[in-house]
Structure 1
Amino acid sequence: MNIAVIGTGYVGLISGICFAEKGNHVICVDQDINKITALQNLVSPIYEPGIEAFMERNVQAGRLAFSSNLIQAVQDSELVIIAVGTPSLPSGEANLQYIEQVAAEVGRAMNGQKIVATKSTVPVGTNEKIREIIAQQTEQPFDIVSIPEFLREGSAIQDTLHPDRIVIGLDNRELEAVLVELHSSFTDQIFVTDIRSAEMIKYASNAFLATKISFINEISNICEKVGADVTEVAIGMGKDPRIGPSFLNAGIGYGGSCFPKDTKALIQIAGNVNYEFQLLKSVVEVNKAQRYKVIEKLKESLGQLNNTVIGIWGLSFKPNTDDVREAPSLEIVEALISLGARLKLYDPVAMDKFRERFDHPAIEWCGNALAAAANADAVCLLTDWQEFKELQLSQLIYLMEQPILIDGRNVYTKEQIEGAGLHYYSVGRPESTPAYRPQVRI
């Protein structure tokens, strides 16, 4: 098919690249001229392993192009995919400003029969609003469908090329054959439903995964008090096929552009129909509190944090991405600075993005993990990057002022810690090192 993708953020760019990879002709559109220029020069505006090789291959094959000309892109396409952002408003509701703006522009650009698909995560009923907006701008025939995305940052290309399922919401069953055929090269696990159910499936899926994360973090807090090991508990739970092993890694909570935004939006959606989603409200509260466990463990090990030096390993909300939106690191760093600590920060790829959102004279930006640990009273691991897992921890006792490691992601095994000479604190696991009596800096 000839496809126009409106929006070159994570969802739009990855979707466009992967549709091109499957043999479709795709033009990705964005109003940001600088972003389009970079894309035309095969420079990705997002960090995603392998993305630029996929871009180059499909551009050279003539299947993929980038443009700021929405009108031409719509007129040259059979399928128009809306993939612009829906950030949270202060109320928690999804901001539909960009969706509505694009819908009007698409309507004005139409020159014939089109299928307009929404990939952006939108509240139930939004596609009906999109239909109304487009209809106000054109007399051309068109259909509206909902095709929510389920990609994960850091593995987005592979998630899109090899999805576990594709959900298609439509109200014109004559479209089913063409849309199933379009997606059948990705998977045969295609679920066709109505538009409102498709919109809800996206929110319900993310809310359930967020619930699993908050649940295992609550279990980890109990494990610390009763002497159980949450990693062993999670393995045992995950062997039950009704539960499954995914999203049962205890730590400092979820972040990123989806889970925080979508859980808040679903709470608001429920509120709009006079239903109080008590469970999901608790999920959000637990997640917010969990990130401060790192600070509690620092206080436990150091006594007080004023005038201490704390190394931070990892700033992105998860590994293999430079995304720091809603990352636990943002709140942890801000809290530590407010308590009088000086910080040494390092992340393999997210330093610039973090600095755009938060900078302070008390922060030193470091070039590698060991530099961030040098002369520190403690190191906190906040993102489970592979390079942190491969460090020789025995080096730290020669670099650090006080050999304290707070592992916020349970990265290290007992074997890695034994013999390293560190005072090690993890999440929901019995501490394998004796209590530390801190030295106080003068």
Structure 2
Amino acid sequence: MKLTVIGTGYVGLVSGVCFSDLGNEVVCVDKIGEKVLQLQRGEVPIYEPGLQELMQSNSEAGRLSFTTDIAAAVKEAEIIILAVGTPSLPNGEADLSYILGAAKEIALAMEGGPKILMTKSTVPVGTNETIERLVRELTDHPFEIASVPEFLREGSAIRDTMNPDRIVIGTDSDWARQRLTELHRPLTDRILHTDVRSAEMIKYASNAFLATKISFINEIANICEKVGADVSQVAEGMGYDKRIGASFLRAGIGYGGSCFPKDTQALIQIAGNVDYNFKLLKAVVEVNQAQRFNIIRKLEATLDDLYGRTVAIWGLAFKPETDDVRDAPAFEIIQVLIERGAHVKAYDPIATANFRRKLDHPSIQFCASAREAALEADALCILTEWEEFRTVSPAEIQSWLRGPHLIDGRNLFREEEVAGTDLSYYSVGRPNMNRGIRERADLLGIR
């Protein structure tokens, strides 16, 4: 099939590359000329394992190309995939200006045979109907509308796209349903056909539920710290229940990134627009926001005053295997440390440049290695569970630090690994392994 993908952000680029790898002829369109030139040179503007190699091989095979010429790309395509950004407005609603602008350009460029306009961007319920009305006002060319939400995860986007849990196709057109089923059939037989509005809602409901699981296990972790239970064992026991499942039950410092924060806020606004108070999801967001500041409370329990202290930070990306720092917990944690007079030594294997573009301060020293960041620091905080950090032993960490204080926000280390050191060790939702620091935390009421 001939496909045109509008937008070369995370979803658009990964989708275009993967569809070309299935044998389709794909043209990816972007307005930013420099970005298109970069892609034409075989350079990927985002970090995603396996993406560059797959992009280069399909470009060389002639199945994948990049352009700024939306008119030519739309004219030749049977299926046009909308994958432009829908960032949050100040009130939490999705900003639809980019996707509606793209829809207008598509309408004015339609020629040739009938088209399928397939939306992959995450949009509020009813948006595809708005897109359809807008396009029909601008053209008499035959087309059908469909919502096919994406469920890929940064860091495993290629694997998730090529081996999806399910494909959701929302359309009222039998022809579009048949063609889109044919397009996705090589990926999986688990294809769900719905109406358009239900497909739009499935995306928001899925992300909201996963965010709820994360905030739930973090609340359980906070209780575990107070009663002396181990949240890792609790989560394992819960996960064996097939009704619950083990995924997204890993306690830590909360979720971040481009999807969960944006989509939970958008769903709260969607509910509010129809006079429904989504109390549960509001609580999920509140819990997530507060969870990251447990790092600060635990630092203060072990260091007293943060003023003049040097705090090492391992991990700036919101999750491992990505350079995405959008809504990463590291931002707020580091900002609080600076406000309280601390000097920060920060390191991330991939995301440092992206982070620095958004937050650069004289009190932040960006380091070239994990060792450099930890060396002579009064405490180390682990904020992202990069595999590189797992390979460093707690004994080695202790040898680098000036103060033997480790705040493990991602529960990277096991009890037996830390037990043989003199580290004052805090994890999330697990019994503290240093008696002195445990007794001090009890006195301060944070345990």
Q: Output one character per residue of 1:211-238: Cα deviation in whole Å (capped at 9) or x when no partner.
A: 0000000000000000000000000000
- Within the alignment, does 1:406 sit opposite 2:416 as a pair? no
- Within the alignment, does 1:271 sit opposite 2:255 as a pair? no
Indicate the residue corresponding to 2:100 in structure 1. 100
The answer on whether the counterparts of 1:337 and 1:362 sit within 8 Å (CA) in structure 2 is: yes
Q: In the alignment, residue 47 of structure 1 is paired with which amino acid?
A: Y
- Within the alignment, does 1:381 sit opposite 2:387 as a pair? no
Indicate the residue corresponding to 1:31 in structure 2. 31
The answer on whether the counterparts of 2:146 and 2:176 sit within 8 Å (CA) in structure 1 is: no
Q: Secondary structure at the match of 1:54?
A: helix
The answer on whether the counterparts of 1:257 and 1:325 sit within 8 Å (CA) in structure 2 is: yes
Q: Output one character per residue of 1:21-67: Cα deviation in whole Å (capped at 9) or x when no partner.
A: 10100000000111101100110011001111001110111110011
Q: Output one character per residue of 1:303-340: Cα deviation in whole Å (capped at 9) or x when no partner.
A: 11011000000000000000000000011011110011
What does 1:174-213 correspond to in 2, within 5 Å? 174-213=175-214
Query: Please, what TM-score do these two structures have when normalized by structure 1?
Result: 0.98
The answer on whether the counterparts of 2:79 and 2:117 sit within 8 Å (CA) in structure 1 is: yes
Q: Take 1:387 and 1:73, find their aligned partners in 2: how far apart are those partners?
A: 42
Q: Output one character per residue of 1:344-377: Cα deviation in whole Å (capped at 9) or x when no partner.
A: 0000000000001101000001011111001100
Indicate the residue corresponding to 1:304 in structure 2. 305
Indicate the residue corresponding to 1:15 in structure 2. 15
Indicate the residue corresponding to 2:444 in structure 1. none
Indicate the residue corresponding to 1:241 in structure 2. 242
Indicate the residue corresponding to 2:426 in structure 1. 425
What does 1:136-215 correspond to in 2, within 5 Å? 136-215=137-216
Q: Output one character per residue of 1:207-265: Cα deviation in whole Å (capped at 9) or x when no partner.
A: 00000000000000000000000000000000000000000000000000000000000
Indicate the residue corresponding to 2:58 in structure 1. 58
Residue ranges of structure 1 left out of the alignment (5+ in a row): none
Q: In the alignment, residue 399 of structure 2 is paired with which amino acid?
A: Y
The answer on whether the counterparts of 1:301 and 1:435 sit within 8 Å (CA) in structure 2 is: no
Q: Take 2:324 and 2:9, find their aligned partners in 1: how far apart are those partners?
A: 12
Q: Secondary structure at the match of 2:435?
A: coil
The answer on whether the counterparts of 1:40 and 1:65 sit within 8 Å (CA) in structure 2 is: yes
Indicate the residue corresponding to 2:227 in structure 1. 226
Q: Secondary structure at the match of 2:170?
A: strand
Q: Take 2:417 and 2:43, find their aligned partners in 1: how far apart are those partners?
A: 39
Q: Secondary structure at the match of 1:435?
A: helix
Q: Take 1:172 and 1:78, find their aligned partners in 2: how far apart are those partners?
A: 15
> How far did residue 8 of structure 1 move?
0.3
> How far did residue 435 of structure 1 move?
2.3
The answer on whether the counterparts of 1:3 and 1:25 sit within 8 Å (CA) in structure 2 is: yes
Indicate the residue corresponding to 1:84 in structure 2. 84
The answer on whether the counterparts of 1:146 and 1:195 sit within 8 Å (CA) in structure 2 is: yes
Q: Take 1:214 and 1:242, find their aligned partners in 2: how far apart are those partners?
A: 18
> How far did residue 434 of structure 1 move?
2.5
The answer on whether the counterparts of 2:4 and 2:79 sit within 8 Å (CA) in structure 1 is: yes
What does 1:254-403 correspond to in 2, within 5 Å? 254-403=255-404
Q: Take 1:115 and 1:174, find their aligned partners in 2: how far apart are those partners?
A: 9
Q: Take 2:176 and 2:122, find their aligned partners in 1: how far apart are those partners?
A: 21
Q: In the alignment, residue 133 of structure 1 is paired with which amino acid?
A: L
Q: Take 2:305 and 2:271, find their aligned partners in 1: how far apart are those partners?
A: 42
Q: Take 1:329 and 1:363, find their aligned partners in 2: how far apart are those partners?
A: 12
Indicate the residue corresponding to 1:48 in structure 2. 48
Please tell me the root mean square deviation across aligned C-alpha atoms, in Å. 1.0
> How far did residue 418 of structure 1 move?
2.0
Q: Take 2:409 and 2:399, find their aligned partners in 1: how far apart are those partners?
A: 22
Bigger Cα displacement from structure 2, 171-180 vs 249-258 = 171-180
The answer on whether the counterparts of 2:71 and 2:109 sit within 8 Å (CA) in structure 1 is: yes
Q: Take 1:375 and 1:145, find their aligned partners in 2: how far apart are those partners?
A: 57
Q: Secondary structure at the match of 1:65?
A: strand
> How far did residue 299 of structure 1 move?
0.4
Q: Take 1:427 and 1:180, find their aligned partners in 2: how far apart are those partners?
A: 44
> How far did residue 166 of structure 1 move?
0.4
Q: Secondary structure at the match of 1:331?
A: helix
> How far did residue 410 of structure 1 move?
0.6
Q: Secondary structure at the match of 1:428?
A: coil
Q: In the alignment, residue 372 of structure 1 is paired with which amino acid?
A: A
Indicate the residue corresponding to 1:70 in structure 2. 70
The answer on whether the counterparts of 1:29 and 1:69 sit within 8 Å (CA) in structure 2 is: yes
Q: Take 2:29 and 2:62, find their aligned partners in 1: how far apart are those partners?
A: 16
Q: In the alignment, residue 258 of structure 1 is paired with which amino acid?
A: C
> How far did residue 415 of structure 1 move?
2.1
The answer on whether the counterparts of 2:214 and 2:254 sit within 8 Å (CA) in structure 1 is: yes
